[in-house]
Chains A and B, each alone.
Chain A
Amino acid sequence: MDLLQDISLALQEGNCEKIEVLVRQALSAQVFPKDVLDRGLIAGMNVIGEKYKNHEIFLPEVLLAAKAMYKGMDVLKPLFLKSGIPTLGRVVIGTVQGDIHDIGKNLVAIMLRGAGFDVLDLGKDVPAEKFVEVAVKEEARVIGMSALLTTTMSAMKEVVERLKKRGLDGKIKTIIGGAPVSADYARHIGADAYGYDSVNAVEWIRKLTAQS
């Protein structure tokens, strides 16, 4: 049990070397890989998420913790090869076409992975059709879109409309975020949710995936 707490703490410190050693130790001690993931790595990222939400820590600390999370996952991955790493669902995420601002989007992707979601990050400047195509092909449950420019946020509406046209609204949920958008705008374009920051986005995606 202490070992899992130590993993969580090492992750919170962003200590990559320590986390790799501790995860191996836990596995040698016959701790289930799923427990190492849920009660060690994800538990640590949840603490990071809370601290970030409360402004106790900031972006660099979150990213250092994320790197430690990936180090731990690298050790666990081979053990989940047959069944795949257990996830809460697949989320396709990207910054909409015409927009290159991706720090917020990257942070949401990191927080989602840290919370146990499988994230397909399409990057920035992503055309509307690509969001939909990838989400359908990869059986994603949620599409997350980010924009920083007022002139590009209309691309979010295009994604929602494409889903509707194909009868996929309701099956594939949509969430939007970024400085120029709001809950009102999400309602206006028919998106399912608006995340005002990365932690809030994860909370919403948990709710959306629980509904579908």
Chain B
Amino acid sequence: MSELIEISTRDVMPAEKSVMLLQGIPSSRRTSENVKQLFLLARSMLGKFVQPVGIMKDIPQKTFHDVYKGQSFNAENTPVPEIARHADGLALFAVTLGRGVHDKINELFESKELALASMLDSFASAGVEKAADIVETRFLESLTARGIVGKGTVVMRYSPGYCGWHVSGQGKLFEYLKPSRIGITLRDSFLMEPLKSVSGVLIAGKKEIHVFEDNYPFCSECETHSCQERIQALLGNT
């Protein structure tokens, strides 16, 4: 059965550093007065327009592999199935910041308030990741409460569109999870509406199961290698 997760506005309010990084501003740089004003305005807009909510559903290994297979467009060899194989718990999840902030960003772009639109977009991008973090925590708490996992277990999320998991995987994920209950729909191209939404699989297990090297064939096409940052953060090396 799927579980709806209420998330407070306060909990998705991102740190200044995360927003500024998405704006391309390193934390070592002082921001101009104009940028500070934009930041404050966008923050108050996020507070006004955001309606964060999440949904998650425990799934067995078999369901995971069916969802992951999607439409069979994944890269040949990918890390996520192997990680899932060693999992103590699996769940599908989706979170969204809601339609309000999505519409506000579009409205600002259309009225050529580009800087404010972009700042609000960065707030929302950082905010929806915080919402996904909260769902990870709730999943871990739920597994712990049920005695399924103990100390030393961590939860990490993996999403279609990354690490060789083809974006068409969203189709199966939506079939099983039904995130339309929280207002998320899927376009023909498998992108979510509202855009500030995150979906994927939560994998609970020992830290070690999440560690992999970025030497898969598809990694050569990726310039960010952000998986490694996540792994290092997990291992406490950052």
B191 interface neighbour in A60, A98, A185, Cβ under 8 Å: A98
Stretch of A17-25, A34-42, A145-153, A160-168 contacting B (4+ beta carbons < 8 Å)? A145-153
Stretch of A3-11, A63-71, A82-90, A133-141 contacting B (4+ beta carbons < 8 Å)? A63-71
A63 interface neighbour in B118, B187, B221, Cβ under 8 Å: B118
Number of A-B contacts (CB under 8 A): 83
Taking the closest CB of chain B, its distance from the CB of A7, in whole angstroms, is 18
Most A-side CB within 10 Å, residue of B118, B161, B189, B191: B189
Q: Are A151 and B121 in contact (CB under 8 A)?
A: no
Q: Are A185 and B221 in contact (CB under 8 A)?
A: yes
Q: Are A179 and B29 in contact (CB under 8 A)?
A: no
Majority SS at the chain B contact face: loop
What class of interface size applies to chain B in its complex with A? 20 to 34
B118 interface neighbour in A59, A70, A185, Cβ under 8 Å: A59
Q: Are A98 and B190 in contact (CB under 8 A)?
A: yes
| CA distance in complex: A161, B23 (Å) | 34
Q: Are A110 and B114 in contact (CB under 8 A)?
A: yes
| CA distance in complex: A151, B170 (Å) | 13
Q: Are B115 and A14 in contact (CB under 8 A)?
A: yes
| CA distance in complex: A182, B167 (Å) | 21
Taking the closest CB of chain B, its distance from the CB of A178, in whole angstroms, is 9
Residue of A nearest to B38 (CB): A60
Known: A60-B34, A60-B35, A98-B167. Is A153-B221 also a contact (CB below 8 A)?
Answer: yes
Cβ of A180 under 8 Å from chain B: yes
Taking the closest CB of chain A, its distance from the CB of B210, in whole angstroms, is 19
| CA distance in complex: A180, B112 (Å) | 28
Give the interface of B toward A (CB within 8 A): 23-25, 29, 32, 34-35, 38, 109, 112-115, 118-119, 121, 161-162, 164-167, 187, 189-191, 195, 218, 221-224
Give the interface of A toward B (CB within 8 A): 14, 58-61, 63-64, 66-67, 70, 97-100, 103, 106, 110, 125, 127, 149-153, 179-182, 185
8 nearest A-B residue pairs (beta carbon): A63-B115, A63-B114, A58-B25, A60-B35, A150-B221, A64-B115, A59-B24, A150-B222
29 contacts between A and B (CB under 8 A): A14-B34, A14-B115, A58-B23, A58-B24, A58-B25, A59-B25, A59-B118, A60-B23, A60-B34, A60-B115, A60-B118, A61-B32, A61-B34, A63-B115, A64-B34, A64-B114, A67-B112, A67-B115, A70-B112, A97-B189, A100-B191, A110-B114, A125-B189, A149-B162, A150-B222, A151-B162, A152-B167, A180-B221, A180-B224
